[in-house]
Amino acid sequence: MNIQFDEKQGIFKLDTPNTSYCIGLAEGRWPGQVYYGPRIDTTELAWAMGLDQRPNTPGTLPGEAVSFFDRYPWEYPVCNMGDFRSCCLAVRTEAGEVDFLPEFAGYSIVPGKILPEGLPGTGGGQEDCASLILRQRDPQTGMELELIYTAYGHLDVITRSARIRNGGNSPVRLDKALSASLTIPWKDSRLLRINGSWAREQCIDIQPIGRGFQGTGSARGISSHQDHPFLAVLSPDATQDHGRVYAMHFVYSGSFLAQVERDQFDQLRMVMGIHPETFCWKLTPGETFQTPEVVMVCSDRGLGHMTRTLHDLYRTHLIPNHNRKRPVLLNSWEAVYFDFNEEVLLNIARSAAALGIELFVMDDGWFGKRDCPSGSLGDWIPDPKKLPRGLDHLSRELEKLGMELGIWMEPEMVSPDSDLYRAHPDWAIQTRNRLPMRCRDQYVLDLSRPEVEAYVYQAVETVLRSARITYLKWDMNRPLTNLGSAVLEPDRQGELTHRYVMALYRIQKRLTRAFPDLLLENCCSGGGRFDPGMLSCSPQIWGSDDSDAYERLKIQEGLSLVYPLSAIGAHVADCPNHVVGRTTPFETRAIVAMAGTFGYELDVTKLSREEQEQIPGQIARYQKYQDLIRQGDYYRLASARTGNLDAYLVVKKDRSQALLTAVRPMNVPNSRRTYLPLAGLDPSAVYRDAAKGVSYSGQVLMHLGYPLDFGWGDHQAILAELVRE
Ligand code: GLA
């Protein structure tokens, strides 16, 4: 197994193909991190615990605990015991005191993966990975802690979570229960975050790490447009293919905290977990709390190796049905918004079908009396004015055209103006004496209530059973506020958002089990809940409401840093673009949308003849490369964030085929041809660019580069296929 314990040294060692992670036990009692980096083949590491330095452990220097506690690289630091850096766990006893100091109490090493109970996690069988459970117990309070690690044998990934059990006799409250902490003994380093806002989600931001706290987090009840549950610490020299990277990614979709702290000794501590601001959890004797999972990657080959490791992990061990072929779809939202009826939709569908589009997605506005974003959420009955013959009739008409029907729902919501709200006003999340804040004129349903969870499942199931619906876009258009549940006990109100997230996972997983052929696409006003948790339920997520090709370069660069392209919903939209008013060439829009699950979001009947004629070719091209895009290795080559070029390469695992995408945002007058060095190719092979009728040596493509001959004008794109001869 790739996990071992050296009893003599007191060192646990977890190995992945290129990394090792070592844990020691100070005084045999306290697990601390000794090493995380390139793979080593020794456990002779007791010396590296630094316990021979002063201040020594409380065992050898009985008068001094705090100085030791405040510098020790704890595996899972607890609050109020003398470690004043960011901690992971605060246990408040019945007496109201924060009091918990766990000590090592045993371990197990088992083959395979231990999944976090009731929560998503990356899977893995006995042949893929091994797991370590480090058991700890506080002799004073009886509280127990288990740290759970899985090390993958074929990927440089270690996952972590924690279980806290009340082994005492009285109830306690968890004020904070993060999932993992990581110590990096580096002074000069940089922090990479992915953040943004609505319509400019997931942008990469890199800053030097100074003293104190830096990080990211969301208290919105969703992972959010603004912040992403991901952090990476980069060595000063780290680039795409060089330098060290430590990354943490949270498999969770609710509020989160991700922090790095540079302490008084210039050590870095990274922590990640559920945001404590909107969380507390009561544990009665015998009860256990399971934290969500953190995925950790250490790469000594820059960001690129981290990216490919995460892509492979999520494709093989997280995303359901990742490998299914995705139909080319047309989404009605930007085509007609709320203004449609059956004939309008079928009219678009007729043209779309003739052009080769396979799936027609009817977006918002088909139910209740929904002619604008106010009203009807919760009343999932087709609007008789718009769809007098119902969903089944629409699906049959589409079937005649050779198209499938997809549908939009926003099941977690209720409009104040809806029959559902009139019948169950208390189902909305709210505090006792105040109406909840409206956002997009809607409230959030309290999924922490079992009857509401059951209703939401049943509402979606009923719609899906009412017609031949092969695709569901599951939207979620507002954050959670006024956190209060009509049924939770006063001392359990802090559990609302986590219970909500767990119920959401249950509903979606139950649904995809009941409808195994359904293609579920998650959405949250675009990329507002794009996270590994949601990806454990649906193989794709709508990347952003911003479908402008130029804006999408940055969004898709951020997303593809951590997610495979097949997870990113990307569409060709109308111009001038509805969000930014920019006009980009139709062909560039289609090339940019290939970095994801390709589709159209416009009224094809309104396109020029010339544009319409391009669509069959664009679809055929996507179909041709769909497998490569879904399964290939991703290499980021240039970024529009930092220069006038965005480029990436997808390389087939056996390096026999590669697809290059390059976009030059602005034309440059009086410029000469540039060469873009490629990566990931076989240097000894010759690659043929059939479209150009030229062959290139792999070595030259990687060292000199591929010649970029952009067309005239701004926002020009190149798509080139290279096939090994
Ligand atoms: C959100 C989604 C859009 C669309 C609208 C409909 O903004 O991100 O794609 O579905 O809701 O109201």
For residue 530, the CA-to-ligand 1 centroid distance in Å is 14
Of 545, 546, 574, 633, the catalytic one is 545
> Out of 3.40.50.300, 3.40.50.2300, 3.40.50.10490, 3.20.20.70, which CATH number does the structure's domain 329-631 have?
3.20.20.70
For residues 568 and 281, give the distance between their C-alpha atoms in angstroms, rounded to a whole number: 34
State yes or no: pLDDT of 693 exceeds 90: yes
For residue 84, pLDDT beyond 90:
yes
CA of 663 to the centre of ligand 1 (A): 27
Name all contacts of 317-321 with Cβ < 8 Å and 24+ positions apart: 317/122, 317/123, 317/124, 317/128, 318/120, 318/122, 318/123, 318/251, 318/532, 318/535, 318/536, 319/535, 319/536, 319/539, 319/564, 319/566, 319/567, 320/512, 320/536, 320/537, 320/538, 320/539, 321/539
- Rounded Cα distance between 255 and 617, Å, is 43
Which position has the higher pLDDT, 188 or 492? 492
- Residue ID of nearest Cα to ligand 1 atom 2: 525
Q: What is the pLDDT of residues 63-81, one digit of tens each?
A: 999 999 999 999 999 999 9
Q: Which residues line ligand 1 (CB under 6 A)?
A: 333, 363-364, 373, 408, 475, 477, 523, 525-526, 542, 545
Q: At what angle do helices 390-400 and 342-355 cross, to 10 degrees?
A: 30
CA 603 – CA 339 distance, rounded (Å): 12
Q: Could you give the percent of the chain with pLDDT greater than 90?
A: 98
Distance (Å) from CA 491 to ligand 1 centroid: 36
The two counts, helices (H) then strands (E), for the chain are 13, 38
Atom 12, ligand 1: which residue's CA is nearest? Answer: 364
Q: What is the mean pLDDT of the chain?
A: 97
**124 C-alpha vs ligand 1 centroid, how far in Å?**
35
User: Which range is least confidently modeled, 46-55, 174-183, 308-317, 350-359?
Assistant: 46-55
Q: What tokens were used for 260? A: 């790095």
Residue 363 Cα: closest atom of ligand 1: 10
Tens digit of each residue's pLDDT (9 = 90 or more) over 93-130: 999 999 999 999 999 999 999 999 999 999 999 999 99
Task: Indicate the pTM of the whole model.
Answer: 0.98
pLDDT one-digit tens code per residue, 598-644: 999 999 999 999 999 999 999 999 999 999 999 999 999 999 999 99
For residue 529, pLDDT over 90 is answered with: yes
What is the mean predicted confidence (pLDDT) over 540-552? 98
- Best substitution site from 336, 363, 522 to test ligand 1's pocket, by max atoms within 8 Å of Cβ? 363
Q: What is the mean pLDDT of residues 549-577?
A: 98
Show the tokens assigned to 13.
């060692």
Residue 683 has pLDDT above 90, yes or no: yes
In which band, very low, low, confident or very high, does the pLDDT at 15 lie, cut at 50, 70 and 90? very high
pLDDT of residue 52: 84
Spacing, Cα 328 to ligand 1 middle (Å):
19
Give tens-digit pLDDT for 220-262.
Answer: 999 999 999 999 999 999 999 999 999 999 999 999 999 999 9
Q: Let me know if domain 637-724 sits in CATH 3.40.50.261.
A: no
Atom of ligand 1 nearest to the CA of 524: 8
Strands (E), 345-503: 359-362, 404-409, 413-414, 443-444, 469-474
Q: What pLDDT sits at residue 406?
A: 98
Q: Name the closest-CA residue to atom 1, ligand 1.
A: 525
Q: How many angstroms does the Cα of residue 382 sit away from the middle of ligand 1?
A: 18
> Mean of the pLDDT values across residues 444-465?
98
pLDDT of amino acid 316: 97
660, containing H or E segment: strand 657-664
Which residue's CA is the closest to the ligand 1 atom numbered 8?
525
Q: Which of 364, 439, 524 to mutate to test the pocket of ligand 1 (most atoms within 8 A of CB)?
A: 364
Q: For residue 29, how far is its CA from the centre of ligand 1 (angstroms)?
A: 53
Please report which confidence band the pLDDT of residue 47 belongs to, taking 50, 70 and 90 as the band edges.
very high
Segment 470-494 shows an average pLDDT of 98
Band (pLDDT 50/70/90 cuts) for residue 50 is confident
Ligand 1 closest atom vs CA 601 = 9
- 402 CA to centre of ligand 1 in angstroms: 26
Distance from the alpha carbon of residue 98 to the mean position of ligand 1, in angstroms: 44
Q: What is the mean pLDDT of residues 541-565?
A: 98
Average pLDDT over residues 276-288: 98
Return the DSSP state at 442: B
**Would you say residue 187 has pLDDT above 90?**
no
Query: Which residues, other chains included, contact 446 with Cβ-Cβ below 8 Å and sequence gap of 6+?
Result: 427, 428, 429, 452, 485, 486, 487, 496, 500
pLDDT at 54: 82
Active site annotation includes 475: yes
Q: Phi and psi at residue 28, in whole multiples of 5°?
A: 70, 10
Q: For residues 31-57, give the mean pLDDT.
A: 93
The answer on pLDDT for 147 being more than 90 is yes
Looking at residues 46-68, what average pLDDT do you find? 90
Q: Is the pLDDT of residue 487 over 90?
A: yes
- What are the structure tokens assigned to 176, written together? 């904070």
Residue of the CA atom closest to atom 7 of ligand 1:
525
Judge whether residue 55 has pLDDT over 90: no
Which protein residue has the closest C-alpha to ligand 1 atom 6? 364
* pLDDT for the residue numbered 134: 98
The ranges assigned to domains in the chain are: 3-317, 329-631, 637-724
pLDDT at 416: 97
Nearest to 448 by CA among 391, 402, 486: 486
Pocket test for ligand 1, best of 408, 524, 529 (most atoms within 8 A of CB): 408
Substitution candidate for ligand 1 out of 409, 473, 477 with most atoms within 8 A of CB: 477
- Of 83, 128, 156, 475, which is the active-site residue? 475
Pick the CATH number of 3-317 from 3.40.50.920, 2.60.120.10, 3.40.630.10, 2.70.98.60: 2.70.98.60
Q: Whose CA is nearest to atom 11 of ligand 1?
A: 525
**Mutational test site, ligand 1, from 471, 525, 546, 578, max ligand atoms within 8 Å of CB:** 525
Span from the CA of 522 to the centroid of ligand 1 (angstroms): 11
Q: Which atom of ligand 1 is nearest to 523's Cα?
A: 8
The two domains 3-317 and 637-724 share their CATH topology (first three levels equal): no
Cα-to-centroid distance, 439 and ligand 1 (Å): 14
Report pLDDT for 277: 97
Q: Which two tokens stand for residue 245?
A: 């990277």
Q: Which atom of ligand 1 is nearest to the CA of 473?
A: 10
Residue-level pLDDT at 51: 86
From the CA of 477, give the closest atom in ligand 1.
1
